């Protein structure tokens, strides 16, 4: 991936808005100091829009322009990294809640199934006892 921004650890790609270092030596020095950058390599590097505030721009109906007073800053990707972490944490919590409900549902179903089995077993046992009683009484009658 070709980088568009010279700021260390910036993950901007080529197609993002970016700005060349100013030709004015004082402004250029302010940018260099702000970014902790080596001034010997400035000719071909740019700084992407992520390192400027919205207030650093002036707007026309079709474009936005960087103000002469704008000085870039180094951003740290904490916000963009925290959002996915928070989303993942929410998904984990949702999954845990879902699993808990499934376990409760399964436990309830197991209890219901056991009751049904006990009922059937009791019913079968009663039928067996009644059958044995009937067979015993028939034997007694035939004797």
* CB contact set of 64 (below 8 Å; sequence gap of 6+): 17, 57, 58
How far, in Å, CA of 45 to CA of 18, rounded? 9
Burial state string for 40-50 with b = 16 or more CB within 10 A and e = fewer than 16: eebeebbbbbb
Query: Which portions of the chain are predicted below pLDDT 50?
Result: 1
* Residue 16 backbone phi and psi in degrees, to 5: -100, 155
What is the pLDDT, as a whole number, of residue 91? 74
> For the chain, what is the mean pLDDT?
77
The DSSP secondary structure of 50-79, one letter per residue, reads GGS-GGGEEE-SS-EEE-TT-------THH
Helix, strand, or coil (residue 8): coil
What is the pLDDT, as a whole number, of residue 1? 46
How far, in Å, CA of 83 to CA of 122, rounded? 58
In 3D, which of 55, 47, 54 has the Cα closest to residue 18? 47
Q: Where are the beta strands (DSSP E) in the chain?
A: 18-20, 46-48, 57-59, 64-66
What is the pLDDT, as a whole number, of residue 76? 60
pLDDT, tens digit (0-9, with 9 covering 90-100), for 76-105: 655 555 556 667 777 777 777 777 877 888
């Amino acid at each position: 991936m070709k980088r568009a921004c010279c700021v260390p650890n910036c993950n901007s790609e080529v197609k993002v808005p970016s700005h060349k270092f100013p030709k004015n030596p004082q402004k250029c020095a302010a940018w260099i100091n702000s970014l902790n950058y080596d001034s010997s390599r400035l000719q071909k590097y740019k700084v992407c829009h992520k390192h400027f505030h919205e207030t650093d721009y002036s707007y026309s109906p079709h474009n936005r322009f960087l103000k002469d007073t704008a000085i870039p800053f180094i951003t740290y990707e904490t916000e963009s990294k925290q959002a996915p972490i928070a989303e993942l944490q929410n998904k984990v919590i949702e999954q845990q809640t879902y699993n808990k409900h499934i376990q409760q549902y399964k436990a309830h179903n197991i209890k219901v199934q056991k009751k049904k089995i006990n009922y059937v077993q009791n019913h079968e046992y009663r039928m067996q006892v009644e059958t044995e009683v009937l067979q015993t009484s028939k034997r007694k009658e035939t004797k």
